[in-house]
Amino acid sequence: MKRFAALLATGAALSALAVTGAAQASAQTTGGPTGPTKNCVDGFPGVVNLRLCASVTGDQVVFSGYATPASIAWNPQKVAFNLTAGVVGGALIGSDSPYVLIPGGGIPVGNVSGTAPCGSSVQATFNVTQWGWPPSTATVTVPVTC
């Protein structure tokens, strides 16, 4: 009986953490006029699943990628990626083309940051460029509202 009570208490604690985590994620995603705005998108599933996040604070933008193997049978290996960001209809903010060892649990891949004019939109594309693999791409577009 003590085990059952302990399991119930653990389940309640985990549920509370999940609710707190969801509230924090919601606060990060929505932001406010003075706080950062964060938007993440997942790429089309491939050999490696991609996630691309954009964070905007004033006129400062940061794009970051994350890669996770699609299979639990994954053997850690180096994979080529490309992350490119720019102002829609305007200048290139930057690019990053890392060749990264991807472990079974996934890893942050690539980071591009810079400034963009207030009132513009910025867009980034993150993709796998590993020769012989099917394409996997994530693209995110966000406004710079300053």
- Structural fold of domain 33-143: Immunoglobulin-like (2.60.40)
Looking at residue 36, its pLDDT comes to 74
The domain segmentation of the chain, as residue ranges, is: 1-30, 33-143
The string of DSSP codes covering 26-84 is HHHHH--SSS-EEEEEEPPPSSEEEEEEEEEETTEEEEEEEEEES-TTPPPEEEEEEEE
pTM for the complete prediction? 0.73
pLDDT tens profile 72-118: 999 999 999 999 999 999 999 999 999 999 999 999 999 999 999 99
Identify the residue whose tokens are 């954009």: 54
